[in-house]
Amino acid sequence: MNAGLLAVWVILGYLALLIGIGMLSSRFGRGTSADYFVASRGIGPVFLLLTIFGTTMTAFAMVGSTAEAFTGGVGVYGLMVSWSGLVHSLCFFLVGVRLWAFGKRYGYVTQIQFFRDRFESNGLGLVLFPALVGLVIPYLLVGVIGGGKSIEAITAGALPAVFAATKGGIPFWLGSGVVCIVVLIYVFLGGARGATWANAFQTLVFVVLGVVTFGVIEDKLGGFQKATAMVAEHNPAHLKFGASAEDHAVFEAQMAAFQAGETPIKPREPESIPPLIFLTYFFIPFSVAMFPHLFQHWLTARSAKSFKLSVVAHPLLMAVVWFPCVLIGVWATSAVFEGKAVIPPDFANANAVLAVMVRKLAPPVLGGLLTAGVLAAIMSSLDSQFLCVSSIFSNDILAHYVGHDRVTDRQKVFAGRVFVILIVAITYGLGLWLSESRSVFTLGVWCFTGFAGLSPLVFAALYWKGATKLGAYACVLTTVGLGLWMCWQSDFGAKADYTVFGMMPVAPLIIASTAALVFVSLVTPIVSPKTLERFFGKQHAG
Partner 1 sequence: MKVLLGIFLLALIVLHQDFWWHDRYTPLIFGFVPISLAWHVGISLAAGLLWFLAVTLAWPHELDAVEAEGGDQ
Could you list the residues that contact partner 1 (CB under 8 A)?
Answer: 34, 41, 74-75, 77-78, 81-83, 85-86, 89-90, 93, 97-98, 100-101, 104-107, 224-225, 227-228, 232, 236, 239-242, 244, 272-273, 275, 278-279, 282, 302-305, 307-308, 311-316, 318-319, 323, 326-327
Count of residues making up the chain: 542
CB of 31 to partner 1, least distance (A): 16
CB of 159 to partner 1, least distance (A): 38
CB of 357 to partner 1, least distance (A): 16
Q: Where are the alpha helices (DSSP H) in 155-171?
A: none
- Cβ of 214: how many Cβ atoms within 10 Å? 17
Nearer to partner 1, 167 or 302 (CB): 302
User: Distance between CA 421 and CA 233 in Å, rounded?
Assistant: 50
CB of 302 to partner 1, least distance (A): 7
- Residues with Cβ within 8 Å of 61's Cβ and at least 6 positions away in sequence, in order, are 321, 322, 325, 377
User: Distance between CA 156 and CA 385 in Å, rounded?
Assistant: 29
Tell me which residue of 326, 391, 431 sits closest to 63, measured CA to CA: 326
User: Distance between CA 216 and CA 222 in Å, rounded?
Assistant: 10
Nearer to partner 1, 11 or 506 (CB): 506
CB of 486 to partner 1, least distance (A): 24
Nearer to partner 1, 240 or 465 (CB): 240
User: Distance between CA 520 and CA 125 in Å, rounded?
Assistant: 18
List, as one string, the DSSP characters of 480-499.
HHHHHHHHHHTTTTTSTT--
CA 516 to chain centre: 28
CB of 458 to partner 1, least distance (A): 16
CB of 483 to partner 1, least distance (A): 25
Phi, psi of 488, rounded to the nearest 5 degrees: -65, -45
CB of 81 to partner 1, least distance (A): 6
Nearer to partner 1, 278 or 498 (CB): 278
CB of 304 to partner 1, least distance (A): 4
Nearer to partner 1, 92 or 428 (CB): 92
Give ∠ CA 345-347-352 in degrees, rounded to 5.
140
CB of 231 to partner 1, least distance (A): 9
Nearer to partner 1, 335 or 352 (CB): 335
Q: Where are the alpha helices (DSSP H) in 333-363?
A: 353-361
The dihedral built from the CA positions of residue 406, 136, 130 and 307, taken in this order, carries a sign that is positive
CA 316 to chain centre: 17
User: Distance between CA 100 and CA 296 in Å, rounded?
Assistant: 9
Nearer to partner 1, 140 or 342 (CB): 342
CB of 172 to partner 1, least distance (A): 32
Nearer to partner 1, 163 or 295 (CB): 295
CA 390 to chain centre: 18
Nearer to partner 1, 305 or 540 (CB): 305
- Residues with Cβ within 8 Å of 12's Cβ and at least 6 positions away in sequence, in order, are none
User: Distance between CA 533 and CA 541 in Å, rounded?
Assistant: 5
The dihedral built from the CA positions of residue 513, 87, 46 and 321, taken in this order, carries a sign that is positive
Nearer to partner 1, 313 or 398 (CB): 313
User: Distance between CA 174 and CA 152 in Å, rounded?
Assistant: 9
Nearer to partner 1, 296 or 479 (CB): 296
User: Do 416 and 391 form a contact (C-beta atoms < 8 A)?
Assistant: yes
- What would you report as the CA-atom Rg of the chain, rounded to the nearest whole angstrom? 23
